[in-house]
Amino acid sequence: MDSTRHVLEDGTIISTRERVVRNVSLPLAGTPTAAQSFATDGACPDIAFLKNHFYGEGRVSEEQALWILFTASKIFRGEPNVLIVNAPATGTMSQHRHVDKSAKLISCVLYLWSLKICHPNTVVLLRGNHECRHLTNHFTFRLESVMNKQFLCLHGGLSPELNALDDIGAIERFREPPKTGLMCDLLWADPALDFENTKESFLHNHPFQFLERNNLLSIIRAHEAQDAGYRMYSKSKSTGFPSVITIFSAPNYLDMYNNKAAILKYEANTLNIRQFNCVPHPYWLPNFMNAFSWSLPFVEEKNACRSSKCMQ
């Protein structure tokens, strides 16, 4: 079998030695030095360098990666469960896909953690539902916040056990997420399509009542892919503002949804949503399998055919 050639479903023959997406440059070779990766004071990663380095699919050394992870973890552990964030607030546009099933997952995490190290008081990262040992084993890979005293930002949604923001502050978050309860719902819960008319008992924590009880304007969450990159749910009768907003920042999710992504910017009491599309990236085998594992079944089948012919 000629492993240097591959035939697509339409019969097109491509070279396995070249990239299918020709306009994507080859990965950067080698690992950067400490002088390149870190600022002159040595206390903060060089953000500009790492952004370009990761965008070019470059890698860092294990020692450099562990330093970033452990340093950022100390900052996260010193923060409370609920963060109070003042406006203006915005999400920075990035060429990386901030999602748990990304081929560039490690570079995304290291870049975001580096931003947190350099800007601990202005960069806020929320805990995602896949940040647990069970799911990171499958997909190879924290905090809720209140922004401008108006918006509750979290990954999942409300919980029947959530009455006040103090309930979130009382959570013991330094553990694996449980399968049920308040912490689980904050990471996993999704709003019903028409929750205003839904009568199921497990959805009895109504968003409108929760917002009024806690003097909030809306809930901003992220746990669902959206065709347009965002979705606004039923408006509050008292404020006229959407009670729940979903923002999904991963374009073309899993390389198959063909969805747009969106970021939200809030400044001067004005909320703007910006949409964007995905950028070209290299071809990846299903489930990010390496070429050797992917080719084994074909090699075994070819050898079996040869053995069969020899016996005949």
Judge whether 47 and 114 are in contact, CB under 8 Å: yes
The per-residue b/e assignment along 108-140, b for 16 or more CB within 10 angstroms, e otherwise, is bbbbbbbbbbeebeebbbbbbbbbeeeeeeeee
At 7, give phi and psi (nearest 5°).
-100, 120
Residue 130 among the catalytic residues: yes
- Smallest CA-to-CA distance from 105 within 132, 63, 140, 56 is with 140
Strands 218-221 and 5-7: unpaired
Question: Could you tell me the sign of the dihedral formed by the alpha carbons of 63, 66, 67, 68, in that order?
Answer: positive
Q: Is the peptide bond before 88 cis (omega within 30 degrees of 0)?
A: yes
Q: What angle do CA 50, 51, 52 make, to 5 degrees?
A: 90
Among candidate residues 53, 130, 155, 223, the one labeled active-site is 130
Task: Tokens for 279, please give them.
Answer: 């950028």
Active site residues: 130
